[in-house]
Amino acid sequence: MTNRQESSADQEKVALLIQYLGTNYHGWQRQPNQVTVQSEIEQAIASVTGRPVTIHGAGRTDSGVHAAAQVAHFQYSGPIPADKWAKMLNGRLPDGILIRASANVPQDWHARFDALWRRYRYSFYTDPTPNLFVKPYTWHYYYQTLEESLIQAALNPLIGKHHLAAFQRAGSTRPHAWVEVQAVECYRRGPFLHLEIQANGFLYGMVRLLVGLLVEVGIGKRSPENFTDIWLNQQRDLVKYSAPAKGLCLLRVGYPSPPFPEHIWFDTQPTFVFNS
């Protein structure tokens, strides 16, 4: 009866800043008979509280996709201060998941619904010689030269609110395909090529499908104008390739009032800078 009488006034809402290597996980979202990031964290919290708990994430990442600053929250009633949860959970989580910080947030705050934007980074390694230390985080693409100026030219028209059904995988439950793209960027660091895209939300499989088509632009197989025509005319049949998951990382999530200091969440996926 005591548990039933607990109200939100008796509870604390705890926000988590989460990093994970998606390699060994079947995505973020809890799924039956699958090892996921959400289920691992929920099990770690339950091992402390002694009761089941649900965490709510800012976004869902696919199988194999990484995160540098995923955000989630959960409700808790007990003596543990919000800022102590990060250290406590890290001792209970597998090596591929890390809670970078934890903080108290207001009861009306929500990790998903209060988010203004999400930003993803896709990384290529373009040197012909393989490198074990970058393999888990990049698409080793060295077959043809990727021209970043062509990719940037193709990206620029995406800024704004558009219907991007051409970049939506089958099986999505989203009621529409409208996306407000806020920023796009393509840049090179030695043998590494990075694409970044920021939007208010993303369609199921959107970034990997978009990158797969951008590769055709970067090697000169398609023009930037043709790339734009494809998504403007919703020609999903022409978007044939999805880029490998391991090159994609949820870089950060933006809020009106971020619950964590900027140096903790803003740019925490290192970019390799060595020369080939």
Catalytic center residues: 62
Nearby residues of 221 by Cβ (< 8 Å), 6 or more positions away: none
Rounded Cα distance between 14 and 12, Å, is 6
248-254 and 66-76 beta bridge pairing: parallel
Q: How far apart are the first and last CA of the chain?
A: 65
Residues 252/117, Cβ–Cβ less than 8 Å: no
Neighbour tally for 57: CB within 10 Å:
24
Give the distance, in angstroms, between the CA of residue 135 and the centroid of all CA atoms in the same chain. 18
Dihedral sign for Cα 82, 84, 87, 91, please. Answer: negative
Q: Please state, in angstroms and rounded to a whole number, the distance separating the CA atoms of residues 86 and 19.
A: 11
Distance (Å, rounded) from C-alpha 216 to C-alpha 260? Answer: 39
Angle at the Cα of 249 from the Cα atoms of 271 and 223, rounded to 5 degrees:
85
**Which pair of tokens denotes residue 95?**
């090596």
